Amino acid sequence: NADNKIKFLGRVDMNLVEKLMAVDKKEFDKIEKKMIFSRQMTKLLGEKASVTIQAISGDYFMPLSASGLDDNGNIDYGRAFDINAKVAAAGIINPNLKDENLLQHLGVATPAEAAKKIFKGEINWISAEIAELSGFGEEKKADKEIKN
Alpha carbon distances (Å) from 75 to 9, 81, 119, 145 = 39, 11, 22, 27
Distance of alpha carbon 2 from its chain centroid, rounded?
41
The CB-side HSE value for 52 (13 A sphere, CA atoms) comes to 7
Angle at alpha carbon of residue 54, lines to 52 and 57, rounded to 5°? 160
For position 79, what pLDDT does the model report?
A: 81
For 47, 48, 116, 122, the CA distances from 36, given in Å and listed in that order, are 14, 11, 17, 12
In whole angstroms, what is the distance from residue 15 CA to residue 43 CA?
Answer: 52
Q: φ and ψ at 138, to 5 degrees?
A: -105, 5
Given this model, what pLDDT does residue 103 score? 97
pLDDT tens-digit profile of 25-67? 888 878 899 999 999 999 999 999 999 999 998 887 877 776 7
Report the sign of the C-alpha dihedral through residues 9, 13, 18, 24, in that order. Answer: positive
Cα separation of 53 and 84, whole Å? 14
Read off the pTM: 0.76
Could you read off the pLDDT of 60-101 as tens digits, one per residue? Answer: 787 777 676 777 777 777 788 999 999 999 999 999 999 999
pLDDT, one tens digit per residue, over 119-134 is 999 999 999 999 999 9
